A and B are shown apart, each in its own frame.
Chain A
Amino acid sequence: MAKKPFKIKIPINPSDIQHGQVLPFIVKNIPFIRRRWHHRVDADHQLLEPRVSEIFFKKIVKEIKEKDITYQNIWRINEIYYPYIFIDVYSTKGKKLFILTINLRNYNFIPPQVGLLTPDGKLIKKLKKSAIVSDDQGIIHIIAHINGVWVCTPGIYKYHDFYFDVDRWEKVRDDLSTNIIELINRIIGMIDRTKENIVEIAQ
């Protein structure tokens, strides 16, 4: 017998709906709603006219080139070509630890997509647990995922895709917290650079 399609019933109390809100985005006091079945996109879906995203890309590259000298003992630019930026990240002993990739194909309509590569360019699928630094609340923000690791922090594509309805990229894309230098340093701060070998699984 064929299974019946799963239907979700959301009891909606008008007082729980915020002014101007588009349902079914945020419904307060509902512990479980399958609201994350939205249309997922990634940089393979080229949403933004390249001439537009290239303008933003050039702005980002200019900022990185101006400021990378300050962080040269921590990270340095490896390679840049539209829409990618590759950042070499170094251990505290000066050994190349990994490469941070930033894809700005649909920026700033969509947040940057990031990935981690081994120093020889293989996709890192999982980091060693001992290499991941938790925040002051004991939360870790780098999680193993199907296609490389997932960096779960505001300003990164996968975060805003997952928290699509509560943390909208459009609201924070001009904030200091999502500035490219901030993002680079924040991601690097999630990894223990005193370790020389941080990779558990690479492709």
Chain B
Amino acid sequence: MSDNEKKIEVTFVIQGKEFTIEVNINQSVKAGVHKTLIQAGQSGSHIGWELRTENGELINMDSSWKDQNITSPTKLFLSKGAGRGGTSNGKKTIQDQNTY
């Protein structure tokens, strides 16, 4: 099988439940995320979600599996991002600037 067709099994963990799908390593990560979110009964959009390895490294969902050096079966953790709030180098967030 050529590298263009190489597929791997990726297990996504969402809220303690595992969802395993097959992905082409040249496809974007977010395509796999969309598929999994639909399986998990979520909206299917990757926006607002964070994908991490077990070591806590954040995966760029816009790049391909290959570009993220994920070319063998792996387990990843999908959860909602921090969302609003927080601070940036002591400056108030956009939300603060608008509403405080």
Known: A71-B16, A193-B56. A141 touches B86 (CB 8 A): yes
Among B52, B81, B97, B99, the most chain A Cβ lie within 10 Å of the Cβ of B99
Q: State A71–B17 Cα separation when bound (angstroms).
A: 10
Which A151-202 residues sit within 8 Å CB-CB of chain B?
Answer: 152-154, 159, 162-163, 166-167, 176-177, 179, 181-182, 185-186, 188-194
Q: Which of B2-10, B24-32, B87-95 contacts A (4 or more CB under 8 A)?
A: B87-95
Could you tell me if A186 and B79 are in contact, using CB atoms closer than 8 angstroms? yes
Could you tell me if B16 and A70 are in contact, using CB atoms closer than 8 angstroms? yes
Could you tell me if B56 and A138 are in contact, using CB atoms closer than 8 angstroms? no
Which B28-67 residues sit within 8 Å CB-CB of chain A?
Answer: 42, 48, 50, 52, 54-56, 58
Among B13, B16, B52, B88, the most chain A Cβ lie within 10 Å of the Cβ of B16
Interface of A is mostly: loop
Could you tell me if A67 and B16 are in contact, using CB atoms closer than 8 angstroms? yes
Could you tell me if A66 and B16 are in contact, using CB atoms closer than 8 angstroms? yes
A143 located at the interface, meaning its Cβ lies under 8 Å from any Cβ of chain B in the complex: yes
A135 located at the interface, meaning its Cβ lies under 8 Å from any Cβ of chain B in the complex: yes
Known: A71-B16, A166-B99. A152 touches B79 (CB 8 A): no
Q: State A154–B86 Cα separation when bound (angstroms).
A: 10
Could you tell me if B15 and A181 are in contact, using CB atoms closer than 8 angstroms? yes
Interface size class of B (residues with CB under 8 A): 20 to 34
Q: Which of B50, B82, B95 contacts A166 (CB 8 A)?
A: B95
Q: Which residues of B contact A67 (CB under 8 A)?
A: 15-17
Q: State A76–B14 Cα separation when bound (angstroms).
A: 17
In the complex, what's the smallest C-beta–C-beta distance from A129 to chain B, in angstroms?
10
Could you tell me if B86 and A192 are in contact, using CB atoms closer than 8 angstroms? no
Q: Which residues of A contact B58 (CB under 8 A)?
A: 133, 136, 189
Q: State A32–B99 Cα separation when bound (angstroms).
A: 7
Q: Which of B80, B86, B98, B100 contacts A177 (CB 8 A)?
A: B80
Q: State A186–B13 Cα separation when bound (angstroms).
A: 13
Q: State A74–B56 Cα separation when bound (angstroms).
A: 9
Q: Which of B55, B79, B81, B84 contacts A167 (CB 8 A)?
A: B84
A92 located at the interface, meaning its Cβ lies under 8 Å from any Cβ of chain B in the complex: yes
Could you tell me if B86 and A182 are in contact, using CB atoms closer than 8 angstroms? no
Q: Which of A31, A143, A186, A191 contacts B87 (CB 8 A)?
A: A143
Can you name 17 extra interface pairs (CB under 8 A) apart from A36-B100, A193-B55?
Answer: A31-B97, A66-B16, A73-B54, A74-B56, A136-B58, A137-B88, A138-B88, A141-B82, A163-B95, A176-B80, A182-B79, A186-B79, A186-B82, A188-B56, A189-B79, A193-B56, A194-B56
Provide 14 A-B residue pairs closer than 8 Å at the C-beta atoms, listed in order of the A residue: A31-B97, A133-B56, A136-B50, A139-B82, A139-B88, A141-B82, A141-B85, A143-B86, A153-B85, A154-B83, A167-B84, A182-B80, A189-B56, A193-B56
